[in-house]
């Protein structure tokens, strides 16, 4: 390891998102990201495996937070309440970060490779949530279906939150989306 660089990780992430937004993801090199952050390529690779990872840095922590919140709800509560607690927990991470989320999403949507990576992260989240629900004693297929529903709410709630003119908080939109899903699939034969 080289010398200690204060906030290197955050500086690299900021520089990467700035460059991806300005020039496009494909057109940006790791050397340019490091240069913009006033750091070396070597430092970049001490923190991130590739150009892509810098955009998905928080996804492991997010998954852990979600799963832990699900696990902490008393077992007597129904699975959907545990998932809702998870959605509340992850929403707190994004407070004050809407502008960042909007810019990051624009970069991801513009690139097929990044969209794929996002889908893989969501599939991983769904699998981890299903595990957490089974640990609570939820049987299959309810565990997998509730986990998929939770990820659907996360995805749709997040997209609503970053839409233009949206002023509600992410937590509000997540809770509202749970309600909308229940209403949408709760009626009919």
The footprint of its own copies (CB under 8 A) covers: 77-81, 84, 115-116, 119-120, 123, 138, 140-142, 144-146, 148-149, 152-153, 155-157, 159-160, 177-178, 180-189
**Cβ distance to its own copies smaller for residue 5 or 81:** 81
**Cβ distance to its own copies smaller for residue 74 or 96:** 74
Q: Shortest gap between Cβ of 128 and its own copies (angstroms)?
A: 16
Q: Shortest gap between Cβ of 27 and its own copies (angstroms)?
A: 23
Question: How far apart are alpha carbons 153 and 173 in whole angstroms?
Answer: 9
Closest to 18 (Cα-Cα) out of 62, 58, 59, 55: 55
**Cβ distance to its own copies smaller for residue 110 or 152:** 152
Question: How far apart are alpha carbons 140 and 130 in whole angstroms?
Answer: 9
Q: Shortest gap between Cβ of 177 and its own copies (angstroms)?
A: 6
Q: Shortest gap between Cβ of 167 and its own copies (angstroms)?
A: 16
SS3 (DSSP) at 124: helix
CB atoms within 10 A of CB 3: 5
Residues 6+ positions from 100 with CB-CB distance below 8 Å:
17
**Cβ distance to its own copies smaller for residue 22 or 116:** 116
Residues 6+ positions from 75 with CB-CB distance below 8 Å:
136, 137
**Cβ distance to its own copies smaller for residue 28 or 177:** 177
Residues 6+ positions from 136 with CB-CB distance below 8 Å:
70, 71, 73, 75, 79, 82
Q: Shortest gap between Cβ of 9 and its own copies (angstroms)?
A: 26
Question: Could you tell me if 107 and 25 are in contact, meaning their C-beta atoms sit under 8 angstroms apart?
Answer: yes
**Cβ distance to its own copies smaller for residue 19 or 143:** 143
CB atoms within 10 A of CB 182: 12
Q: Shortest gap between Cβ of 74 and its own copies (angstroms)?
A: 12
């Amino acid at each position: 390891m080289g010398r200690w660089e204060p906030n290197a990780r955050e500086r690299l992430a900021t520089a990467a998102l700035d460059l991806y937004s300005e020039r496009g993801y494909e057109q940006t090199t790791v050397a340019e990201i490091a240069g913009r952050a006033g750091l070396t390529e070597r430092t970049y690779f001490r923190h991130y495996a590739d150009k892509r990872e810098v955009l998905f840095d928080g996804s492991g922590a997010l998954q852990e937070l979600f799963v832990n919140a699900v696990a902490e709800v008393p077992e007597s509560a129904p699975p959907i309440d545990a998932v809702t607690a998870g959605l509340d927990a992850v929403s707190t991470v994004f407070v004050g970060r809407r502008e960042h989320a909007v810019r990051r999403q624009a970069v991801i949507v513009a690139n097929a490779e990044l969209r794929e990576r996002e889908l893989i992260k969501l599939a991983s989240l769904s699998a981890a949530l299903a595990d957490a629900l089974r640990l609570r004693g939820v049987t299959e297929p309810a565990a997998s279906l509730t986990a998929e529903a939770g990820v659907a709410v996360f995805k749709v709630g997040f997209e609503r939150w970053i839409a233009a003119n949206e002023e509600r908080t992410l937590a509000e939109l997540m809770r509202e989306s749970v309600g909308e899903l229940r209403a949408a699939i709760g009626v009919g034969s």
